[in-house]
């Protein structure tokens, strides 16, 4: 098959050898060459493809995302070819995400924002700390990433619960569903972690109506998507003390503009979309398995369901 590899942000010089190593027997064209041969491509492996590329991919069998999310593809709406779209589910990314979330929870739980400020002023002041078992972490979105984070946090002694749009029956931690379930989770979450996909339903979910349901002084951790945030509501919640802190990894647009108010706030820990960087060496193996499925006329393993938008 002819495979196209296209991304303006991913290091394709690392991706290409990783993919070539596991996809012998298929031809891979990269970047501008993928654009030039778009009409011949069988599979497009991509992050944030330009709409012109999608429009020219007239013979595609499938699209594979180079990241966990697929909103960067689906945002093109009717211009997205009507073929199966595979999400990247790589256990290495789940582990990376769990490290990010655990670090964020401990950062705020153990008062590191205060200690960092104190260090700048040579101030020796102890802050009282709660035990992990006195605190609850609520996770919105219990897919592969959310479940892995939840299990790890539980092992560290935190109370953990999750919310997903509908229960599967295979949840390994306390899990709620639906609007009532979301309220139950929010009212007990000292830390709220958002790992939802970005869909028309979840855009702007992290706004005042949701934030007001959290216990006063809760912490927000968002490695989900920038489109989940209502930025003015986050700032207002921090100013009023409804939120005592936040860790934010994703923004709209990215990069976050240099004059954005988030940058200068000591109560926000801000990172540049690195919570679960893709690892080409392991992701390539996951994608190679999908390419073999597609070559045999099947769909990628973790296929997007367009009816739910992820």
Tell me the CB-side half-sphere exposure of residue 130, using CA atoms within 13 A. 13
Integer Cα distance of 160 and 174 in angstroms: 7
Encoded one letter per residue, x for contact with ligand OXD by CB under 6 A and - for no contact, window 261-280 reads ---------------x-x--
Encoded one letter per residue, x for contact with ligand OXD by CB under 6 A and - for no contact, window 124-143 reads --------------------
Q: How far is C-alpha 33 from the geometric centre of its chain's CA atoms? A: 29
68 binds ligand OXD (CB under 6 A): yes
3-state class (DSSP) for residue 154: helix
CB of 177 to ligand OXD, least distance (A): 23
Helix H or strand E segment including 177? strand 174-177
67 binds ligand OXD (CB under 6 A): yes
Integer Cα distance of 33 and 12 in angstroms: 13
Compare residues 73 and 161 and give the one whose CB is closer to ligand OXD.
73
Q: Are the C-beta atoms of residues 191 and 108 closer than 8 Å to each other?
A: yes
Compare residues 241 and 255 and give the one whose CB is closer to ligand OXD.
255
Region from 65-73, 127-135, 136-144, 234-242 binding ligand OXD, contact rule CB under 6 A = 65-73
Give, as ranges, the residues between 77 and 106 that touch ligand OXD (CB under 6 A): none
CB of 241 to ligand OXD, least distance (A): 30
Two tokens, residue 277: 């960087």
Terminal Cα distance for the chain, rounded: 26
Region from 67-75, 103-111, 112-120, 253-261 binding ligand OXD, contact rule CB under 6 A = 67-75
Q: How many residues form the binding site for ligand OXD (CB under 6 A)?
A: 5
286 binds ligand OXD (CB under 6 A): no
Cα four-point dihedral sign 29, 35, 40, 43: positive
Chain residue at closest Cβ approach to ligand OXD: 67
Encoded one letter per residue, x for contact with ligand OXD by CB under 6 A and - for no contact, window 193-212 reads --------------------
CB of 238 to ligand OXD, least distance (A): 24
Catalytic residue list contains 273: yes
Compare residues 70 and 137 and give the one whose CB is closer to ligand OXD.
70
Among candidate residues 225, 228, 265, 302, the one labeled active-site is 225
3-state class (DSSP) for residue 266: coil
CB of 35 to ligand OXD, least distance (A): 22
The DSSP-derived string for 102-141 is: HHHHHHHHTTHHHHHHHHHTT---------GGG-EEEEE-
The single residue among 69, 204, 207, 309 that binds ligand OXD, judged by CB under 6 A, is 69
Selection from 228, 246, 308, 285 nearest residue 91 by Cα: 285
Q: Are the C-beta atoms of residues 209 and 179 closer than 8 Å to each other?
A: no
Question: 3-state DSSP: the chain helix, strand, coil percent, rounded to 5?
Answer: 40, 20, 40
Catalytic residue list contains 225: yes
Q: Are the C-beta atoms of residues 6 and 45 closer than 8 Å to each other?
A: yes
Region from 63-71, 127-135, 176-184, 293-301 binding ligand OXD, contact rule CB under 6 A = 63-71
Among candidate residues 107, 108, 152, 273, the one labeled active-site is 273
Compare residues 100 and 158 and give the one whose CB is closer to ligand OXD.
100
Catalytic positions: 225, 273
Residues in the site for ligand OXD, rule: CB under 6 A? 67-69, 276, 278
């Amino acid at each position: 098959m002819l495979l196209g590899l296209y991304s303006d942000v991913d290091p394709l010089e690392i991706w290409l050898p990783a993919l070539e190593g596991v996809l012998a027997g298929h031809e891979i064209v990269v970047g501008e060459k993928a654009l030039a041969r778009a009409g011949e491509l069988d599979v497009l492996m991509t992050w944030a493809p330009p709409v012109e590329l999608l429009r020219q991919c007239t013979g595609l069998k499938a699209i594979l995302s180079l990241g966990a999310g697929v909103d960067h593809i689906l945002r093109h709406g009717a211009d997205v070819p009507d073929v199966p779209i595979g999400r990247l589910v790589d256990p290495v990314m789940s582990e990376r995400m769990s490290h990010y979330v655990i670090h964020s929870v401990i950062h705020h739980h153990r008062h590191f924002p205060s200690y960092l400020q104190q260090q700048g002023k040579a101030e020796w002041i102890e802050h009282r700390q709660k035990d992990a078992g006195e605190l609850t972490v609520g996770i919105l979105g219990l897919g592969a990433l959310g479940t892995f984070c939840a299990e790890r946090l539980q092992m560290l002694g935190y109370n953990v619960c999750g919310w997903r749009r509908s229960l599967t029956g295979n949840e390994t931690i306390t899990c709620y569903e639906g609007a009532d379930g979301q309220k139950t989770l929010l009212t007990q979450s000292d830390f709220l972690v958002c790992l939802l996909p970005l869909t028309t339903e979840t855009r702007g979910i992290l706004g005042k109506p949701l934030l007001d349901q959290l216990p006063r002084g809760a912490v927000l951790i968002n490695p989900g998507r920038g489109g989940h945030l209502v930025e003015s509501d986050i700032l207002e919640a921090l100013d009023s003390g409804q939120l005592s802190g936040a860790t934010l990894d994703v923004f709209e647009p990215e990069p976050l503009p240099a004059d954005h108010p988030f940058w200068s706030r000591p109560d926000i820990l801000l990172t540049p979309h690195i919570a679960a960087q893709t690892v080409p060496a392991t992701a390539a193996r996951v994608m190679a398995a999908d390419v073999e499925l597609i070559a045999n006329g099947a769909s990628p393993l973790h296929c997007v369901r367009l009816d739910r938008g992820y």
